[in-house]
Amino acid sequence: MDEIKSLGDIEHVQLRPGMYIGSTFGPDGLAREIEDNAYDELANKFATRITIDNPAPGNIVITDNGRGIPIHDVRLENGDMKDSIVVACTKLFSGAKFDESVYSYSIGLHGVGLVAVNALSTFLSVTVRDRNDHNLYHYYEFTNSILSKQESGNYTDLDWSTRIEFIINPKHFTIQDFNMNKMYERACLVTSKFKRSEIVIDGKIVPKGTLEQFARFKLGLAEDIQLYKVNVKQPNSIDEVKVYFTYDLNGQNQSVVQGDVNLHICNGTYLTNFITLITKCITKKYGLTKADGQTKLRAYVSLITSSVEFDSQSKSTMTRNMNGLMNLAERDINRFITNSSYLKDIFTAIAERKSFSKAARKMSKKKKRISAQDGFKDCLDTPGDILYVMEGKSADGSLSQIRKRQSEAILPISGKIINVTKANIEKAINSKKFKFLLEVLGVNLKNVNQQNYRYKHVKLLCDADPDGLHIVVLVTMGIWYYAPSLIKNRQVSVILPPLYGAIKGKQFIPLYSLNETNNYPNHQILRFKGIGEMSPEQLEVIIRNAPKEYILTPPDNQAHANEIIRCVTDTDLKRRLCEDKRFTLNTLFKAIAHQ
């Protein structure tokens, strides 16, 4: 049996440090063990102030003003009596964390903290204020893991009860210093939960924010994005979860879900439990897939529990299933999903983007060169200067004679096209006329805001009657929905056709009302029933000089957009607008004049 080596606790930690502190890439695990003890005192209302200092690489000092580590004699297994601090620094699993009467819930769990720190340091000092005599302190110093000094003395001006300082042994670590940014981030989490606390890092007080502000920081959310809070507690238990969640339509598609358990920022089953719950609520309400329900999801889950299970000493993943507690939040989550207009818009947009992607794959099979179906006449340039969208083929002959074949194209539209405000994307692209319009424009459904359209300008020219105006509205709405940047960049306009024309010799003057004809007593007056009655020369005056051309502009905001859609879809509202004397041709002319 001589070949079997029996290791002491210190030696075992030194031989297998990863078993006790997780990663040995850097010494953060050691600092976390001491932080946990201080945060335990704070979370359980024994301490109000913690300081963390990093005076030199590999050197850390942590204090708290809690109760102080209890000092008493401990009977060992062999019957010997030993000082409790010495035992805590040299014997594994000797802490008080397994006694639930000490803490309602515990942050540090394993009882290996001081032993691991001592084993992997060249220097460790522990200074503790006596619990009974607050002017008395006890000092312990370990050099290369061996107790080298132990003394007691009086001190009347201590603002802490426990002070621990250590210098790491660099041979055990790849990186020789602590990640103070991580410590600062965790301190921000602690101060957001415990308002009476004060944490000072390297002489600077950590600012107190709210847990919502911390969640926004971790999720990278702007202040104007709505964040929903759900807070539930397990009956007859301290177990509690606070969830902040939203959807960020402008962010990446992958879900971002983070959280903390008992003040440990970590991954784990509890996050999966929440994701499962919220996707269930969304798929049930909106008929989306689980993947859709996680698209754009942003959530921060903060959990307090009396019984926590981590996968390792590094406490990076919490493995305990929290479905029971999480399911208590289902009612509140459903309430937000049902009543929030913001979330409704987000889920609608996600569904539309999914449809757009499907439609884009379908349209991607089109030929690079657009066919001449339905009388379409393309130009030679790509991109062309102008695409004329006109009503029917009645004026096709005239327009074909005067257009610039190199840079101007013509798309006649016969009959009405689909109303996109009443149709989803799948139905829209299955409409032959509308799909062809999108192909002619060069719309990329994968990115409706893309700028590589086939024409620099789109000009609509239809008859001055209800059918012509209806076509203008439907084409305009189609472009707004599926090529919005064309309108945003003022590349779409409507050329208003004249109702009359004054002719004298070779001069042609377009007129837009009967009253205007009185101004030309010596001219021949023509009445146009449609643009098809115009000669090429007359039509050229209309399209080249464009005396009445209205440039389309996008809505100012979503409320404005909703009003426009209502004007198009609400039959009763349309009738009342047509009967309202404030909405006349002169109103439109005034709008054109101000452009």
**Angle at the Cα of 128 from the Cα atoms of 124 and 133, rounded to 5 degrees:** 160
In whole angstroms, what is the distance from residue 397 CA to residue 48 CA?
87
CA distance 581 to 295: 48
What is the CATH number assigned to the segment(s) 211-346? 3.30.230.10
Q: 10 Å Cβ neighbour count for 222?
A: 9
What is the rounded CA–CA span in Å between residue 51 and residue 72? 26
May I ask the CATH class of domain 366-554?
Answer: alpha beta
Sign, CA torsion 14/11/166/71: positive
pLDDT tens profile 445-504: 766 555 689 999 999 998 888 888 888 999 999 999 889 999 999 999 999 989 999 999
Token pair, residue 88, equals 């805590």
72-81, 104-113, 169-178, 517-526: the lowest-pLDDT one: 104-113
Mean pLDDT, range 329-344, rounded to an integer: 92
Per-residue model confidence (pLDDT) at position 367: 45
Residues 501/510, Cβ–Cβ less than 8 Å: yes
Centre a 10 Å sphere on the Cβ of residue 384 and count the other Cβ atoms it contains: 20
Name every residue whose Cβ is closer than 8 Å to that of residue 181 and which is 6 or more positions away in sequence.
none
What does R_g of the chain's alpha carbons equal in angstroms? Answer: 38
Distance, CA of 448 to CA of 478 (rounded, Å): 12
For residue 215, which of 251, 247, 255, 257 has the smallest C-alpha distance? Answer: 257
Could you tell me what percent of the chain has a pLDDT over 70?
A: 88
Considering all CA atoms of the chain, what is the largest pairwise distance in Å, rounded to the nearest integer? 129
Nearest 10 degrees: Cα torsion 83, 86, 90, 91: 30
pLDDT tens figures, 520-534: 999 999 999 888 889
- Give CA 54 to chain center in angstroms: 35
**Three-class SS of residue 559?**
helix
Q: What is the reported pLDDT for 559?
A: 81
What CA–CA distance (Å, rounded) separates 106 from 309?
11
Q: What is the C-alpha to C-alpha distance for residues 364 and 439, in angstroms, rounded to an integer?
A: 10
Query: Domain 9-205: what homologous superfamily?
Result: Histidine kinase-like ATPase, C-terminal domain (3.30.565.10)
Mean pLDDT rounded to a whole number for the chain: 86
pLDDT given at position 585 = 65
pLDDT at 572 over 90: no
The Cα-based distances of 260 to 8, 84, 98, 302 in angstroms read 35, 32, 21, 5
Which SS3 state, helix, strand or coil, does residue 277 take?
Answer: helix
Q: Is the pLDDT of residue 76 over 70?
A: yes
Provide the pLDDT for residue 15.
Answer: 92
Question: Which residue would you say has higher pLDDT here, 93 or 557?
Answer: 557
Q: For helices 211-219 and 180-193, what crossing angle results, to 10°?
A: 140
For residues 555-575, give the mean pLDDT.
Answer: 82
Dihedral (Cα; 106, 108, 114, 116), 10-degree rounding: 150
* Residue 417 in this model has a pLDDT that exceeds 60: yes
The answer to which of 95-109, 370-384, 405-419, 544-558 has the lowest mean pLDDT is 95-109
pLDDT at 110 over 60: no
**Per-residue pLDDT reduced to its tens digit, 94-109:** 554 434 445 666 665 4
Tokens of 330: 């289902």
Read out DSSP for 375-431? G-B--SSSSEEEEEEEESSTTHHHHHHHS-TTTEEEEEE-SPPP-GGGS-HHHHHTS
The tokens 């005076």 sit on which residue? Answer: 55
User: Amino acid identity of 116?
Assistant: A
Strand pairing category for 146-154 and 136-143 = antiparallel
Percent of the chain scoring above 90 in pLDDT: 53
Cα–Cα distance measured from residue 110 to residue 95, given in angstroms and rounded to the nearest whole number: 8
Q: Residue 298's closest CA among 355, 349, 222? A: 222
Q: Three-state SS string across 194-224, please?
A: CCCCEEEECCEECCCCCHHHHHHHHHCCCCC
- Average pLDDT, integer, range 19-48: 91
Q: Which residues pair with 256 in a beta bridge?
A: 298
Q: In the prediction, which pLDDT does 360 show?
A: 59
Q: Of the candidates 125, 118, 240, which has an alpha carbon nearest to the alpha carbon of residue 172?
A: 118
Contact in structure between 232 and 153 (CB atoms under 8 Å): no
Q: Where are the domains of the chain?
A: 9-205, 211-346, 366-554
Identity at 16, one-letter amino acid code: R
Who wins on pLDDT, 424 or 305?
305
Model confidence at 88: pLDDT above 50: yes
Specify the pLDDT at position 579.
Answer: 74
Q: Give the lowest-confidence range in 80-89, 97-106, 204-213, 437-446.
A: 97-106
Of 102 and 125, more confident: 125
**Identical fold between 211-346 and 366-554:** no
- Identify the DSSP state of 96: S
Strands (E) in 266-330, as ranges, are: 267-268, 297-304, 317-318
What's the CA angle centered on 405, arms 401 and 406, to 5 degrees?
A: 155
User: How would residue 561 be classed by pLDDT, with cut points 50, 70 and 90?
Assistant: confident
- Closest residue by Cα to residue 289 from 341, 219, 220, 358: 358
Distance between CA atoms of residues 33 and 95, nearest Å? 12
Least trusted range by pLDDT, from 187-191, 290-294, 339-343, 415-419: 415-419
pLDDT at 365: 53
- Structure tokens belonging to residue 397: 């002959």
pLDDT at 99: 40
Say what the pLDDT of residue 108 is.
56
Q: Outline where 442-509 has alpha helix (H).
A: 466-482, 484-488
Helix (H) or strand (E) holding 30: helix 28-43
Task: Answer for the pair 482, 437: CB distance below 8 angstroms, yes or no.
Answer: no
Read off the pLDDT of each residue in 360-380 and give the average, rounded to a whole number: 67
What pTM value is reported for the model?
0.64
Closest CA to 64 of 194, 197, 193: 197
In 3D space, the residue among 346, 507, 339, 372 whose CA is nearest the CA of residue 440 turns out to be: 372
- Grouping H, G, I as helix, E, B as strand and the rest as coil, residue 457 is strand
Distance CA 442, CA 383 (A): 10
